[in-house]
């Protein structure tokens, strides 16, 4: 079975970093062809530095490209309160050994999409500014990308507001552009990502392997793990690992087709992913597969096996 060519777009924060460590090891299924960076958890310069340094940590110099420094129309807000000032829990990694490519993220994504002739799958785990910019700049892109798997949104509720999840809220206009583009979307929203957590015991089990990767993982998750405990959560959610794992092993998940569109006008519900999943009224088009459930025990097993499989 040939590998799935994957473009990874992230706002490399703690769970983005974990998702990248996971994607890199799922190489029996996924082939990372490029990584783009977007402002989100931390400014895009910091995202790019984090991403390059994590590639060095994995000993894989994937092509990395810097993208948008702010949302299309909204003010940029970071999430340092949860991800630490440097976005990776204030863990320290050695200075990156290589530089990001000169092309802008959206140009590099289009070039990759042309190269893979309609087979490229995009995994986007930050605000969707880069993806939507590529869609608007390149009208052929919606025929060249097989599907976009996102961590974002929620069929109900939110985290950054009562109505919206951070990635969608940060750039609702970009998100709406993706959902309206005609490109098939797989949405891993809070319904499933809040189930995808690791307990303190599981985090300690990972740390017990004492490789440079597991030591980094332990160091980079301390701030967000403590914040999760203060919120009374059962563990540390690895939101961004969900679309990665779905791309490789969809059988671990449940979900259903639905229509999804993004609120871009209202102040109260800005960034809400409005879906007909639970509604008598049905949108005319099912443009999204909404992932709703995951087998958490199997999720934790894959995460532990993957993160502890790295060797120095
Ligand atoms: O709401 C969680 C999402 O926002 C995750 O992708 C996290 O990394 C932040 O980007
Ligand atoms: Ca993210």
For 19-76, how does the pLDDT look when each residue is reduced to its tens digit (9 = 90+)?
999 999 999 999 999 999 999 999 999 999 999 999 999 999 999 999 999 999 999 9
Which segments of the chain have a pLDDT < 50? none
- Alpha-carbon gap, residue 225 to 236, rounded angstroms: 5
Residues with CB under 6 A from ligand 1: 11, 13, 15-16, 40-41, 79, 125-126, 151, 159, 165-167, 239-240
pTM above threshold 0.95? yes
**Residue 16 Cα: closest atom of ligand 1:** 8
For residue 197, give every residue at least 6 positions away whose Cβ sits within 8 Å of its Cβ, in sequence order, or none. Answer: 228, 233, 234, 235, 236, 237, 238, 296
Ligand 1 probe mutation, 167, 192, 193, 236, most atoms within 8 A of CB: 167
- β partners of residue 237: 197
- Distance separating alpha carbons of residues 95 and 106, to the nearest angstrom: 26
Q: How many residues does the chain have?
A: 312
pLDDT given for residue 1 in this prediction: 77
Q: Which two tokens stand for residue 177?
A: 């552009």
Using alpha carbons, select from 214, 233, 237 the residue that is nearest to residue 294.
237
Rounded alpha-carbon distances, angstroms, from residue 166 to 11, 81, 308: 11, 13, 29
Task: Decide if 225 is catalytic.
Answer: no
CA-to-CA dists, residue 269 to 15, 83, 151, 278, 285, angstroms: 25, 24, 19, 18, 22
Q: What does the DSSP 8-state code read for residue 75?
A: P
281, with CB counted inside 10 A (0-12, 13-18, 19+), is exposed
Q: How far does residue 85's CA lie from ligand 2's centre (Å)? A: 15
pLDDT tens-place string over residues 159-175: 999 999 999 999 999 99
Q: How many other C-beta atoms are found inside a 10 Å radius of the C-beta of residue 292? A: 18
């Amino acid at each position: 079975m040939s590998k799935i060519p994957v473009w990874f777009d992230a706002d490399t924060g703690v769970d983005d970093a974990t998702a990248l460590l996971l994607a890199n090891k799922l190489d029996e299924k996924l082939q990372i062809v490029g990584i783009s960076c977007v402002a989100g958890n931390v400014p895009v310069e910091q995202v790019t530095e984090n991403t390059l340094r994590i590639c060095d940590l994995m000993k894989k110099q994937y092509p990395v490209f810097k993208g948008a420094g702010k949302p299309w129309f909204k003010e940029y807000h970071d999430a340092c309160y949860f991800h630490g000032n440097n976005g990776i829990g204030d863990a320290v990694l050695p200075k990156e050994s290589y530089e990001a490519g000169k092309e802008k993220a959206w140009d590099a994504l289009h070039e990759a999409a042309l190269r893979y002739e309609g087979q490229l799958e995009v995994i986007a785990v930050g605000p969707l500014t880069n993806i939507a910019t590529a869609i608007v700049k390149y009208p052929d892109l919606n025929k060249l990308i097989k599907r976009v798997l996102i961590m974002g949104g929620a069929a109900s509720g939110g985290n950054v507001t009562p109505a919206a999840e951070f990635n969608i809220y940060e750039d609702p206009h970009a998100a709406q552009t993706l959902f309206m583009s005609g490109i098939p979307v797989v949405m891993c929203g809070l319904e499933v990502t809040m189930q995808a957590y690791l307990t303190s015991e599981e985090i300690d089990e990972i740390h017990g392997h004492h490789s440079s990767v597991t030591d980094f993982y332990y160091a980079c998750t301390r701030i967000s793990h403590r914040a999760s405990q203060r919120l009374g959560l059962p563990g540390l959610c690895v939101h961004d690992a969900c679309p990665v794992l779905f791309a490789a092993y969809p059988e671990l998940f449940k979900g259903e087709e639905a229509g999804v569109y993004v609120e871009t006008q209202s102040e109260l519900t800005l960034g809400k992913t409005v879906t007909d999943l639970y509604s008598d009224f049905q949108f005319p088009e099912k443009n999204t597969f909404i992932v709703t459930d995951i087998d958490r025990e199997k999720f934790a097993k894959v995460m532990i096996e993957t993160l502890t499989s790295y060797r120095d």
